[in-house]
Amino acid sequence: MLIVVRRALAVDPTDWTGPDLARPLSPLGERQAEGLVLRLDDYPVERILAGPALRCRQTVAPLARQRLVPVEPFAALGLEAATSDLLDLVWDAEIHDAVLCTHGPRIGEVLGGLVADGVLQTDSPQWPLGSTWLVQRLGRRRVVGRYLPPLVYDPALWPAESHDPGGRVWGSDRHTAPT
Distance of CA 81 to the CA centre of its chain: 18
Three-class secondary structure of residue 113 per DSSP? helix
| Exposure letters 3-25 (e unless 16+ CB within 10 A, then b) | bbbbbbbbeeeeeeeeeeeebeb
Q: Is residue 79 part of a domain?
A: yes
Q: What residues make up the domain containing 127? A: 2-9+20-139
Q: Is residue 145 part of a domain?
A: no
Q: Is residue 174 part of a domain?
A: no
Q: Is residue 160 part of a domain?
A: no
3 with 98: CB under 8 angstroms?
yes
Three-class secondary structure of residue 115 per DSSP? helix
In this prediction, residue 72 carries a pLDDT of 96
Give the CB-side neighbour count of residue 135, counting CA atoms within 13 A: 33
Q: Is residue 172 part of a domain?
A: no
31-88 per-position pLDDT tens digit: 999 999 999 999 999 999 999 999 999 999 999 999 999 999 999 999 999 888 888 8
In angstroms, the CA 147 to CA 23 distance is 26
Q: How many domains does the chain have?
A: 1
Q: Is residue 156 part of a domain?
A: no
Q: Is residue 31 part of a domain?
A: yes
81-132 per-position pLDDT tens digit: 988 888 888 888 899 999 999 998 988 888 888 888 777 877 777 888 889 9
Q: Is residue 165 part of a domain?
A: no
* Residue in 133, 131, 127, 129 with CA at minimum distance from that of residue 145: 133
CATH of the domain at 88: 3.40.50.1240
In this prediction, residue 89 carries a pLDDT of 86
